[in-house]
Structure 1
Amino acid sequence: MTNTPDWQETLDDLERRREHTLAMGGPDRVAKHRAKGKLDVRARIDRLLDPDTFREFGTFAGGEIAADGIVTGSGLINGSPVMVGAEDFTTLAGSIGSTGNAKRYRLAELAVRDKIPLVMLLEGAGFRPTGAHYGRTPTDLIAQAQCSGRVPTVAAVLGPSAGHGALVAPVSDFRIMSSQGAIFTAGPPVVRESTGEEITKEDLGGPSVALHSGVIHNHADTDEAVIDDIRRYLSYFPSSAWSYPEPLPFDEDAAPRPTPELLEIISRDNRRVYNMRSVLDVVFDNNDWFEVQPQFGKAIVCALAHLGGHPVAVVANQPNVLAGSIDADAADKAAHFIMVADSFHLPIVFLADNPGMLPGSRSEKTGVLRAGARMFAAQTAATTLKLHVTLRKAYGFGSMVMSLLGFDGQEATFAFPGATMGAMSAAALSRASHAESDLSALLREAELTASYRSADHLGFDELIDPRETRDQLLAALQRGLRSRQAAAEPVRRTVILP
């Protein structure tokens, strides 16, 4: 249809203003940004969303400052709606003005109202010195906090992220960083002015720092790889806490099958280590599970996976790190992961093989008991389906944090025959009590028969052949999912975490 003449001038003006915003910080700044191997802000959004689904709002916010430094809108990921905000470093270093702050608030407000995930792509300098600050300005962090436990939230750090903008990441469920990302309370110039310390942004908050501290969960080298991981992460989650995770269409890899490979992977000798990731490859569908925070708290593996096509969360001890002992970092990581999984109704599969919480003065100085209590509180408060398998051993508090505790609402508890348990291992108990050799042998024998004594008192629902592991878990999961005969609702948390 041809535009009538009286509209032409108005529509030309609209197009001119749109083109100004689409130009971001101008051709020179955009070219400089791309020369660093980064995607510009609009290319990032195009990569994140399904083709031709982005619908922007706040296009003309900021007047001559294109989009006021942050591009905001909605679109589809794998066919499901999401809200997305992306800081534009080519426009005033992605800094936050008063209108940009209102756009950020509006993003989170709409995410909760429409019950859809919120994704933030971060690369910005925080509040502008001349812009509105906290005061009575509606802050996005209030709305971001209101998203917690209601809709999945993801933050990607794709360049330097400082000040107020950087706070978006640690309040998000999942945080991921590119190799060019860095996150800090204040950047190197402010640090130099405040403390006299000379430091680069990489050494202040780059991947090696942020992954080690636990501020960032995952790392991928490029913008493209980070964004692809975000799409993959969200594929395991429902749109909100008001819905349940959706199963994948059935395929052969989701069918029941025995797991004889576990007999080769897991030695009956508790002193021999193995890689728990190999167990996940065998038990879950398609070998396509997604690990969360692999570089932090390495004594526990936290992963998203499918079992019979159903999305699940996995919390598993890692015997080849600290012999599977749970240290403070591993417990903190697992506690957060359990709360996220529970918030969005993902069933949690616990795979236990640990000698307990990590002992020693160094471990105590890191607050291992506080962290262990936090993990214990998170898993006992979880209302989602919980399934447990003790593969070889689970001692003391290390068994409780892995959901091996009677009357704790598990859907199913299994153990392999010969699995050992108790307050501590026989070897440790012998040393602690200075037991003679004959008593030590009796302790060892008691330990080896512990699984049958526990089964005799229904300490487990069933002792299973390792070759039955997948099928037993799948049958229990399918049975448990029948309990979902009422509409999903957000989890009400009543536990004060340690």
Structure 2
Amino acid sequence: MTHAHEWKVSLENLDRRRQNSYAMGGPERLAKHRGQGKLDARARLAHLLDPGTFQEFGTLVGGDIAADGIVTGSGMITGTPVMVGAEDFTTYAGSIGPGGNAKRYRLAELALRNKIPLVMLLEGAGFRAAAGEHYGRTPTDLIAQARCSGHVPTISAVLGASAGHGALVAPVCDFTIMSPQGAIFTAGPPVVKESTGEDITKEELGGPAVALASGVIHNFGANDEAVLDDIRRYLSYFPPSAWSYPPTAGPDDSAGPRATPELLDIVSRDNRKIYNMRAVLDAVFDRTDWFEVQPEFGRAIICALAHLGGHPVAVVANQPQVLAGSVDADAADKAAHFITVADSFHLPIVFLADNPGMLPGSRSERAGVLRSGARMFAAQTTATTLKLHVTLRKAFGFGSMVMSLLGFDGQGATFAYPGATMGAMGAAALSRASHAGGDVAEVLKQMELEASYRSAGHLGFDELIAPDETRNALLAALQQGIYSRQSAPEPVSRTLIMP
């Protein structure tokens, strides 16, 4: 005897309610949304995830308000499970109701419980509560998201206007990326007008130009699809959680040893001549498609994800083309965050140093360069992951310390090129500071050029290497260093108070 007929009415009712949720804001609002060159929330998830892997939860939350304005669930990215949420702007402007807030909390709770990444796709107007209304002790997603920090990778994309509470999701994440349609702010233009009298557009308030310049957003994609592709690419360098080591890339001819004679042409022996550090990364790492994080902010330092011998690594490199490589406040803040993220997920860090120190001057001091420099120093010196260092030409003063050029600081290997100079300051600055004459200045310069040999004589570096040996020296040190992975990984414990 079959009982299938008894289920007919119940299943039809379930299907009707599901279809209401799948319809989001309805045909007209969806058409308007797509007409602006944007994917809708469900299309965004379909593009982000491996085909056919999305498993939704909370579909019926919100009743007549489709999914309560946020589509949530799990899926796979290149075969790795992730938790995902996509705000649906076509439904009540993606605003947050009590049910949606609970779904957000549940997303982060499951990400941490299952030890898998959390990805949030943002385009919403913040809390939906009427004036004066408060949700009491309804669990907030930000509490759960904060608990995820340093334990599972957290990524957000700003794909439209994101305001209020919803906007706070982005800066709490490890990595944030924005589309041309994106804008992020504490409160939108109408509230700004009411509060301050300022007339301003959402683009002027928190569009890509503003958010990238402020450092609130890390990266930029040409459209929704490009943003989602970059999230997949970013995650490919990371383990699913701090309880795993980063994944090794599959067999690749680019991953083996090779000399780097091109560095002899790229890097001038003359400290005064600039070069593009990006060309060094192209030569040293497995492939030239390494992934740069925050390329438009703090440009005096390059932060990038790359592969060395098939192993994901984090790269922190001075950029001589910007401020002659001097470390300014923005660059130090960017690097401090990047180092902490890399260390949290056990990515080895490769430091490529070529700087004349921290950026001097009144403007730099007003920007808090010493505080930011202390933040970067604290991040790198407390990092527990494998650290590899190369001084290409120079590293002076505190600018050398933030780049992990310190004895007894837990490095796996330290290298320098012959003639690399270091110390409190360069010869030219020292001669001016000491009012030295021409002959003395020349002596100081010669002493500076010999500094690498004096340092090597006291094991200030593990080895002096020729530029064409750079990749192979780093590769051998990395292959040796990863043998330390003889116990199960776990989250990093941090006790230092961040400057």
TM-score, normalising length from structure 1?
Answer: 0.99
2:262 & 2:250 partners in 1: Cα distance? 26
Match status 1:323 vs 2:324? yes
DSSP-derived class of the 2:384 partner:
coil
1:300 & 1:185 partners in 2: Cα distance? 28
DSSP-derived class of the 2:354 partner:
strand
Give the aligned partner of residue 293 of structure 1: 294
2:436 & 2:389 partners in 1: Cα distance? 33
1:134 & 1:392 partners in 2: Cα distance? 58
Give the aligned partner of residue 121 of structure 1: 121
The one-character-per-residue Cα deviations of 1:26-50 (angstroms, maximum 9, x if unpaired) are 0100000000000000000000000
DSSP-derived class of the 2:180 partner:
coil
Give the aligned partner of residue 238 of structure 2: 237
The one-character-per-residue Cα deviations of 1:397-434 (angstroms, maximum 9, x if unpaired) are 00000000000000000000010111000000001111
Report the AA paired with residue 305 of structure 1. Answer: A
Instruction: Assess if the C-alpha contact under 8 Å between 2:418 and 2:466 holds in 1.
Output: yes
Report the AA paired with residue 91 of structure 1. Answer: T
Match status 1:259 vs 2:260? yes
DSSP-derived class of the 1:240 partner:
coil
DSSP-derived class of the 1:287 partner:
coil
Report the AA paired with residue 155 of structure 1. Answer: S
2:395 & 2:175 partners in 1: Cα distance? 29
Larger mean CA deviation between 124-133 and 196-205 belongs to: 124-133
Give the aligned partner of residue 46 of structure 2: 46
User: Where do 1:43-442 residues align within 5 Å?
Assistant: 43-130=43-130, 133-442=134-443
Name segments (4+ residues, structure 1) moved above 6 Å: none
Give the aligned partner of residue 448 of structure 2: 447
Instruction: Assess if the C-alpha contact under 8 Å between 2:125 and 2:166 holds in 1.
Output: yes
DSSP-derived class of the 1:169 partner:
helix
* 5+ residue gaps, structure 1: none
2:185 & 2:252 partners in 1: Cα distance? 45
- What is the number of equivalent residue pairs in this alignment? 497
1:91 & 1:130 partners in 2: Cα distance? 17
Deviation at 1:488, TM superposition (A): 0.2
Give the aligned partner of residue 19 of structure 1: 19
Match status 1:493 vs 2:488? no
Deviation at 1:134, TM superposition (A): 5.0
Report the AA paired with residue 95 of structure 1. Answer: S
User: Where do 1:467-478 residues align within 5 Å?
Assistant: 467-478=468-479
The one-character-per-residue Cα deviations of 1:336-373 (angstroms, maximum 9, x if unpaired) are 00000000000000000000000000000000000000
Deviation at 1:258, TM superposition (A): 0.4
Report the AA paired with residue 38 of structure 2. Answer: K
2:144 & 2:15 partners in 1: Cα distance? 32
2:108 & 2:55 partners in 1: Cα distance? 16
Deviation at 1:13, TM superposition (A): 1.2
Report the AA paired with residue 278 of structure 1. Answer: A
Residue identity over aligned pairs, in percent, reads: 77
Match status 1:458 vs 2:459? yes
1:246 & 1:224 partners in 2: Cα distance? 25
1:405 & 1:129 partners in 2: Cα distance? 53
1:345 & 1:456 partners in 2: Cα distance? 32
Report the AA paired with residue 31 of structure 1. Answer: A
The one-character-per-residue Cα deviations of 1:176-204 (angstroms, maximum 9, x if unpaired) are 00000000000000000000000000000
Instruction: Assess if the C-alpha contact under 8 Å between 1:313 and 1:346 holds in 2.
Output: yes
- What is the CA RMSD across the aligned residues, in angstroms? 0.9
Report the AA paired with residue 410 of structure 1. Answer: Q
DSSP-derived class of the 2:120 partner:
strand
The one-character-per-residue Cα deviations of 1:431-469 (angstroms, maximum 9, x if unpaired) are 111101111111000000000000000000000011010
1:472 & 1:24 partners in 2: Cα distance? 55
2:322 & 2:252 partners in 1: Cα distance? 34
Report the AA paired with residue 215 of structure 2. Answer: G
Deviation at 1:288, TM superposition (A): 1.5
Deviation at 1:487, TM superposition (A): 0.2
Deviation at 1:135, TM superposition (A): 2.7
Instruction: Assess if the C-alpha contact under 8 Å between 1:276 and 1:316 holds in 2.
Output: yes
Larger mean CA deviation between 377-386 and 246-255 belongs to: 246-255
Instruction: Assess if the C-alpha contact under 8 Å between 2:75 and 2:82 holds in 1.
Output: yes
Deviation at 1:3, TM superposition (A): 7.8
1:497 & 1:294 partners in 2: Cα distance? 24
Instruction: Assess if the C-alpha contact under 8 Å between 2:98 and 2:135 holds in 1.
Output: no
Instruction: Assess if the C-alpha contact under 8 Å between 1:98 and 1:133 holds in 2.
Output: no
Instruction: Assess if the C-alpha contact under 8 Å between 2:97 and 2:129 holds in 1.
Output: no
DSSP-derived class of the 1:487 partner:
coil
The one-character-per-residue Cα deviations of 1:312-338 (angstroms, maximum 9, x if unpaired) are 000000000000000000000000000
Instruction: Assess if the C-alpha contact under 8 Å between 1:127 and 1:133 holds in 2.
Output: no
Match status 1:4 vs 2:37? no
The one-character-per-residue Cα deviations of 1:73-92 (angstroms, maximum 9, x if unpaired) are 00000000000000000000
Larger mean CA deviation between 51-60 and 244-253 belongs to: 244-253
Instruction: Assess if the C-alpha contact under 8 Å between 1:299 and 1:326 holds in 2.
Output: yes
